[in-house]
Homo-oligomer: A and B are copies of this chain.
Amino acid sequence: MSEGRSKAVVLLSGGLDSVTTLAIAREQGFDCHTVSFDYGQRHTAELSASMDIARAMGSAEHRIMRLGLGALGGSALTDDSIDVPDQPGEGIPVTYVPARNTIFLSMALGYAEVIGSFDIFVGVNAVDYSGYPDCRPEYIAAFENMANLATRAAVEGTGRYTIHAPLIQWSKAEIIRRGIELGVDYGQTVSCYQADHHGRACGRCDACRFRAQGFREAGVPDPTRYQDGVTPP
């Protein structure tokens, strides 16, 4: 099935952005190997979603890697003593996880090196989440440069790594429209920072707001499942 196709490693959180990124990588002809991280995030619904999506979208192999980021603390997503806010604040959100994308991309780089892939896809987006330093184009370029000095291929001259961030300059509505063209079923995805164990969204956090607004702007019915009694944002 993967005969002759180049392998790609795709970071798959189970959210709207990463699933669209997987659809794009697949459409570009890559044999996609997906990775999710179990990093002590508050809910594991996104991990279940990522497994279902990987299967549905023909991932050649899906790996869940464990990372002790909870021990680091410092983020509302991994530290129970920090609340996920209901209202957007100024500057970098408390949902920022220190060095998260750097750690995820580093693990993806190791995986790529082992399976002989030179293409890593990540669904970072600089528009809605402009407060996150590790979602900016200059960061992605610097990671790619570092990756091309870090690895066996760098020494042996056998290949060059590319970090693909196809969504980085798109609005949420553009992401959703492209995903729908590619056949993505967004009903399977979980974006909420505090989804319940069924993957149902809170309707209040930043991730819920951006997602709901994206569907409205795209003019597409929103398939998000909300918790009982929640009015969609």
Bound-state CA distance A131–B107 (Å) is 21
**With a CB–CB cut-off of 8 A, which chain B residues contact A136?**
149
Name the contact of A110 in the complex, choosing from B100, B110, B146, B147 (C-beta under 8 A): B100
Cα separation A68 to B145 with both chains bound (whole Å): 25
Q: Within residues 61 to 100 of chain A, which ones have a CB less than 8 A from any CB in chain B?
A: 63, 65-69, 71-74, 91-92, 96-100
Q: How many copies does the complex hold?
A: 2
Q: Is there a chain B Cβ closer than 8 Å to A182's Cβ?
A: no
A213: interface (CB < 8 Å): no
Residues on B with beta carbons closer than 8 Å to the beta carbon of A99: 106-107, 109-110, 113, 150-151
CA distance in complex: A147, B70 (Å): 20
Contact bitstring A109-125, B, C-beta under 8 A = 1, else 0: 11101100000000000
Residues in B whose Cβ lies below 8 Å from that of A170: none
A181 at the interface (CB under 8 A from B): no
Binds B, one of A152-160, A190-198, A216-224: A152-160
Q: Does A103 lie within 8 Å of B106, measured CB to CB? A: yes
Pick the 6 closest A-B CB pairs, nearest first.
A99-B110, A74-B114, A98-B113, A142-B146, A98-B110, A139-B149
A131 to B143, CA, bound (A): 22
Contacting residues, chain B, for A232 (C-beta < 8 A): none
How many interface residues does A have (CB within 8 Å)?
A: 46
The 8 Å CB contact of A103, one of B71, B98, B110, is B110
Knowing A99-B151, A133-B149 are in contact, say whether A74-B113 is a contact too (CB < 8 A).
yes
CB distance from A61 to the nearest CB of B (A): 11
In whole Å, how far is A37's beta carbon from the nearest beta carbon of chain B? 9
Q: In the complex, what's the smallest C-beta–C-beta distance from A226 to chain B, in angstroms? A: 31
Q: Roughly how many angstroms separate A114 CA and B67 CA in the complex, as a whole number? A: 16
Query: Judging by beta carbons under 8 Å apart, are B114 and A98 in contact?
Result: yes
Which B residue sits closest to A65, measured CB to CB?
Answer: B68
Flag if A146 contacts B146 (CB, 8 Å).
yes
Complex: how many Å from CA A151 to CA B131? 11
Q: Does chain B have a CB within 8 A of A206?
A: no
CB of A151 within 8 A of CB of B98, answer yes
Least Cβ–Cβ distance between A13 and chain B, in angstroms: 17
